[in-house]
Structure 1
Amino acid sequence: MDSIAADPLKQRVGPRCTHSYDSVRTLGKLAMSFAPSVLYPLTLPELLHHILTTQSNTASTTLIVCSSRDAFAQDLASSLQPDHGESSTSGLEQLLIPTLHNLFNTRHVKVAFCASVQALLAYLTAYGGPGTRHIGDSGERERLILVNPLALHAPTPSFSAQGLSRTFAAAAETGLKTDAVLHVVECQGKRRHVPNHREEDPEIVTEDEERHSETEEDDPWEQEVSILNVSARRFGSGAGERAWAGRTIKAKRIVGRWFLFDKVKDHGNPNNPG
């Protein structure tokens, strides 16, 4: 009775329903563990450390990096640089080179680079296409990790609720079709780019510059994003579209339609894993 009294819900449903209550709670936790999730807060080095230290010996991980390979290496180097003085260049290389080697050469980790929104959507479509199977040797579910989708969209006309929703919906559909454990990570400390769209209305450009005046975000998911994409904001003819032209929404609310937020408790300095 003490254990029931300690839980208000068990106290309300009574001891006869305790078994059912426990079953529902277990199913709820199980459902959450299978749901797509946003892992946060992680810098790029912390993400790579997390991937390599949690990698299964049987199930595979596919890392979809939303940039080119060169840009990825540059981002990793710059994200490590603030934590080191000029005299620690050798220490930086000792961390960077083995990490990249392990990432690119480990048997169960595959890295794909998508340097544009179009390339990302095409990759997700092909990855979850008919006839594709992504099951580990032991039957474990594969892990699919999408890295920095916000940064990929930021300098494009698709940096809007419309554009991001399209990408996150495609990712969620791919995860569902392949039965993969799907994660999204937007790394902290990555420089944010102010959108620079050609032939765009001056008023729209001013709004975007004001919204992205801070080049770095403590939490990238707190960014304000336009409801409509650039083409809709420029050429929308209906009164309803014009009414939404200046409206914004936080990125976390957009991704929250498909993904749960999962805070990574142990995301310490990858230089000191012990």
Structure 2
Amino acid sequence: MSAYPQPLFVSPALPTELLWHIIHHCIYPTTLLICSSRAEFLSSAATDLKQQNQNPHPKPPDDENQDHTRQGPGISTTSQLLAAPLYQVAVARHIRVLFIPTVSHLRAFLSVFSVDTAKVSAPPQPPPLQQPHTADSSSTTGPPPLLLVYGFLDLHRDTSEWSVQGLSNTTAVLIEAARRVAFQAVVVEPKTEVTTEQQLLAERMPVLSGSARRVGPDFESGGWTGRTVDVRRVLGRWFRFRQRDWKREADRSIS
């Protein structure tokens, strides 16, 4: 049986949901690769925060006698993220974050990825009550550090690498990089209102890189010349699919 952590393709997440999870559940030296520019990601996160503040959805208490004196009922994930304790902020500063603009940049970074080259130091020792979620990487019983790529499919889409060949080449480099340092490879796509997870995985791509789109009426709908394969089939060769309700996870953490 393989001793390497199983690579995961996890349900799409909003920027704030992803950041919440990393701050509360990821350990040093987790590395987050965001497949966009810093400005684009920060703009997306700011929009997400603004929308959540304008349309709050308070969580009703499960028990009318439940004690809410510490945080109060209906407190939002957004408020908790913005008002993170100083210790959580300190831990977040020790999570390595890089912004990746192209597929070529991603492959190049992964090909030489090493914990030794990181300029991010280990976090301070956590208070006893927070030990389970922020344990040092030397722990042998906790979860492994993550090599988490946010926007993996988006980075390939609308490029010559949007194909079984291109996606598989990058995935192979990602998983090899994670195994080399005993990390768990995880891919998360940005959540959108117009595309569900099932639609995302049902999207078609050509077998070979550089394939041309069909001309004529089918061009606008994304038709391709030659054989095509759905994304789920391609990713299924490498990843285990994991359903996650990011919002519910955060709500449970602050309830």
**Bucket of the pairwise TM-score, normalised by the shorter protein:** 0.5 to 0.7
For 2:190, the aligned partner's letter is C
Displacement of 1:261 in angstroms is 0.7
Q: Which residue of 2 aligns with 1:18?
A: none
For 2:16, the equivalent position in structure 1 comes to 45
Aligned partner letter, 2:39 = D
1:63 correspondence with 2:66? no
Tell me how far 1:168 sits from its aligned partner.
0.9
Shift of 1:149: 0.8
Give structure 2 stretches of 5+ with no counterpart.
Answer: 57-75, 123-135, 214-223
Q: Aligned residue for 2:137? A: 136
Q: Which has the higher contact order (CA 8 A, sep 6+)?
A: 2
The alignment partner of 1:261 has SS state of strand
Across the two proteins, how many residue pairs are aligned to each other?
204
Q: Distance in 2 between matches of 1:223 and 1:104?
A: 39
SS in 2 for 1:38: strand
Q: Which has the larger radius of gyration?
A: 1
1:111 maps to which of 97, 122, 133 = 97
Alpha-carbon deviation of 1:255?
1.3
Aligned to 2:228: 248
Instruction: Report the TM-score when normalising by structure 2.
Output: 0.65
Name the SS of the counterpart of 2:229 in structure 1.
strand
For the 8 Å contact 2:30–2:96, the answer to whether it is kept is yes
Give the CA deviation at 1:32: 9.6
1:251-270 aligned at under 5 Å gives the runs: 251-265=231-245, 267-268=247-248, 270=250
Match of residue 153 from structure 2: 150
Partners in 1 of 2:191 and 2:89 — Cα distance?
Answer: 20
Change (3 A) 1:86 1:267: closer
Deviation per residue, 1:94-153 (Å, 9 max, x gap):
677667x96797243111111111111111011059x76999244563221111111111
Are positions 1:35 and 2:21 aligned together? no
Asked if structure 2 preserves the Cα contact closer than 8 Å seen for 1:228 and 1:245, the reply is no
Match of 1:159 in 2: 162
Counterpart secondary structure, 1:268: helix
* Counterpart Cα distance in 2 of 1:142 and 1:83: 29
Deviations 1:58-104 (A, max 9, x none): x32110111111111122223444444399xxx998677667x9679
2: CA distance, partners of 1:106 / 1:249: 38
Preserved CA contact (<8 Å) 1:38 1:184 = yes
**Considering only aligned residues, what root-mean-square deviation do their CA atoms show, in Å?**
3.6
Match of residue 46 from structure 2: 77
Structure 1 vs Structure 2: percent identity of aligned residues?
Answer: 28
1:50 Cα deviation after fit: 1.7
What whole-Å deviation, never above 9, does each CA across 1:158-202 have from its counterpart, x for those lacking one? Answer: 111111111111101111111112211112217xxxxxxxxxxxx
Partner residue, 1:177: 180
What CA distance in whole angstroms lies between the structure 2 residues aligned with 1:118 and 1:188?
24
2:203 is aligned with 1:217: no
Please say if residues 148 and 186 of structure 1, whose CA atoms lie closer than 8 Å, have aligned partners that are also in contact: yes
Contact 2:11 2:242 in 1 (8 A): yes
TM-score by length of 1: 0.61
Alignment-mate amino acid for residue 263 of structure 1: Q
2: CA distance, partners of 1:51 / 1:76 = 14
Equivalent position SS for 2:187: strand
Question: Where do 1:11-22 residues align within 5 Å?
Answer: none
Q: 1:210 — aligned with what?
A: none
Equivalent position SS for 1:64: strand
Aligned partner of residue 180 in structure 2, secondary structure: helix
What SS does the aligned partner of 2:190 have?
coil
Structure 1 gaps, min length 5: 1-26, 191-215, 235-243
Q: Does structure 2 retain, via aligned residues, the 8 Å contact 1:161–1:228?
A: yes
